[in-house]
Amino acid sequence: MTSPSRAEGPTEPQLASAASTFGLLSSPARLHVLWLAAQGDYDVTTLAGRAGINVATMSQHLTKLRLAGLIRARREGRHHIYTVDDPHILTLLQQIFAHIAPDGSLAPDPPLGNANS
């Protein structure tokens, strides 16, 4: 995927797609599901247990995330196994939670400058 130059800015389709993605992730439950799936490969029952929601609700969240291309599913026997393997999504998750402290406040920015200052 090519990135727009700073002068051009993002295209209308890029803005619409980004807004749609962030809209999907505005649900704390879906954001939690995405984070869990980024930690390893799990079936719907395991993800539901870890997230503390019922299997039917988890299935709905997984379907939305999969259709948006944020999560992948593969079949293993009778089960679907879900994971996040897109490095862009993994980086996005890492950046989100690096920016927000455990208490929900914004985390302080790291100091600027070099170590020799």
DSSP state letters, the chain = -PPPPTTT---HHHHHHHHHHHHHTTSHHHHHHHHHHHHS-EEHHHHHHHHTS-HHHHHHHHHHHHHTTSSEEEEETTEEEEE---HHHHHHHHHHHHHB-TTSSBPPPPPPS-TT-
At 10 the pLDDT is 96
> For the domain with range 25-99, which CATH number is right: 1.10.10.10, 3.60.21.10, 1.10.3720.10, 3.20.10.10?
1.10.10.10
Digit-by-digit pLDDT tens for the chain (117 residues) are 566 566 789 999 999 999 999 999 999 999 999 999 999 999 999 999 999 999 999 999 999 999 999 999 999 999 999 999 999 999 999 999 999 989 999 887 777 765 554
Q: How many residues does the chain have?
A: 117
- Please tell me the pTM assigned to this model: 0.80
At 6 the pLDDT is 63
